[in-house]
Amino acid sequence: MYKRNPLSAHQLKPLALLFAALTVSGSALAWQPERPVEFVVTSGAGGGTDTFARTVQSIIGKHKLMDKSIIVSNKGGGSGAEGYVYSASSQDDPYKLTFGTNNEYLLPEVGEMPYAADDLQPVAAMAMDEFLIWVNGDADYASAKDFIDAAKQNPGKMQFAGSQSKDTDQTLVSMIEEATGTDFRYVPFNGGSQALVQLAGGHVDANVNNPNENLGQWQAGMVKPLCVFSPEQLPKGEPVYQGKGWGDIPTCQSQGIDISEYRMPRTVWLPAGAHEEAVTYYQELLRKVSETPEWKDYTTRTVQTSRFLTGDELQQYIDDNAKSVKKVFEQEGWNAS
């Protein structure tokens, strides 16, 4: 019977070196950019999405997480549609990384867009922007319940200011009406900053701005938050006004408004057809960004909830979010079709 002689240490050494060489070679074949990457920003300069993208760019550069350079292009026309159309027209292109929100898949629901939601594929969600009910600093309301009770006594008279029409702010106001049996007058403005000016000046009764949009005026006592649309209270932090901080704001659900969560995800996309190796590369790149102290500083400063989602978990979030928002579109008759 034939017996195989075991290999000697001298014979094994060349095989070990060959295996190591093949392993290194295989790693080197993993996709990575060979030329500059374009960050397509679906907002104007200085907007929330612009700050999001440029923060990611800065962290990548500081920590040398990518060899190639990054070019930032602002294309915020049409509530961000300009950027999505621009990227969608470059199918298969792994060098156009698009920064946006849930408006990527919601805009085609309320208007005739020259792109479809599936013209882009999701790469990651990196943070959740919170929404609150804000009133004027001199308003008599001590709680969200007081505010809702006043609205019930004055149907159709109390005014909510918001950013744009048929967008995230008006959608939330419609959800508040449905959950509480109230009737508000929604007044659209060109951005959260204008909605804030109207509220601080006492020209409207409330807005649903993000924390960072209203921070300065809360510090000055010109506006005050009543509740936050989050499953849990925001993290404790430094006091903002009269000893109260973000962690002292109750959830809206605890105030009798049956909406457990309403958040806007900060999302990143690639054109449909970009190969899986590129998707994986950017997912790992963005994950590294989300683990840096600079990212923590950014989400803390802007009062966002850091939450990193990819793959099936991200797709499930998109499906659930789209379903709940589309229900409002149907009720209000906003659907494009």
Task: Kindly report, residue by residue over 96-119, the tens digit of the pLDDT.
Answer: 999 999 999 999 998 899 999 999
Taking residues 233-243, what's their average pLDDT? 92
Give the confidence band of 16 by pLDDT, cuts at 50, 70, 90: low
Give the torsion through C-alpha atoms of 322, 179, 252, 202, to 10 deg: 100
Note the pLDDT tens digit of each residue in 119-174. Answer: 999 999 999 999 999 999 999 999 999 999 999 999 999 999 998 888 899 999 99
pLDDT single digits (tens) 279-296:
999 999 999 999 999 999
Q: What is the per-residue pLDDT for 9?
A: 54
* CATH H superfamily, domain 132-261: Periplasmic binding protein-like II (3.40.190.10)
| 314 Cβ contact partners less than 8 Å away, ≥ 6 residues apart | 122, 124, 125
Query: What number is the average pLDDT over the span 288-311?
Result: 96
Query: CATH 3.40.190.150 residue ranges in the chain?
Result: 31-129+264-332
Mean pLDDT of 316-322: 95
Examine the pLDDT at 28 and tell me if it is beyond 80. no
**CATH classification of 31-129+264-332 is 3.40.190.150, yes or no?**
yes
Q: CA 92, CA 5: separation in Å to the nearest integer?
A: 52
Position 277 pLDDT exceeds 80: yes
- Contact status, residue 258 vs residue 179, Cβ threshold 8 Å: yes
**Rounded mean pLDDT of the chain?**
91
**Where in the sequence of the chain do the CATH 3.40.190.10 domains occur?**
132-261
* C-beta neighbour count of 315 within 10 angstroms: 13
Burial class (CB in 10 A: 0-12, 13-18, 19+), 267: buried
How remote is the C-alpha of 211 from its chain's centroid? 14
3-state helix, strand, coil in the chain (%, to 5): 45, 20, 35
pTM score, two decimals? 0.83
Average the pLDDT over 309-322 and give the result.
96
pLDDT per position as a tens digit, 52-79: 999 999 999 999 999 999 999 999 888 8
Cα–Cα distance, 36 to 206 (Å, whole number): 44
- CA dist 32 → 29, 94, 280, 283 (Å): 9, 10, 10, 12
21 has pLDDT over 60: no
pLDDT, mean of residues 182-195:
91
Mean pLDDT, rounded, for 198-225: 96
Backbone torsions φ then ψ of 90, nearest 5 degrees: -115, 60
Contact between 154 and 73 under an 8 Å Cβ cutoff? The reply is no
CA distance 118 to 337: 17
pLDDT band at 18 (very low <50, low <70, confident <90, very high): low
* Per-residue pLDDT band at 8 (split at 50, 70, 90): low
> Vertex 226, ends 224 and 231: CA angle to 5°?
130
Strands 185-189 and 159-163: parallel
Q: List, in sequence order, the alpha helices (H) in the chain.
A: 9-28, 48-62, 81-88, 103-110, 144-153, 168-180, 192-200, 211-219, 276-290, 293-301, 311-332
The radius of gyration computed from the CA coordinates of the chain, to the nearest angstrom, equals 24
- Token reading at 333: 């008759």
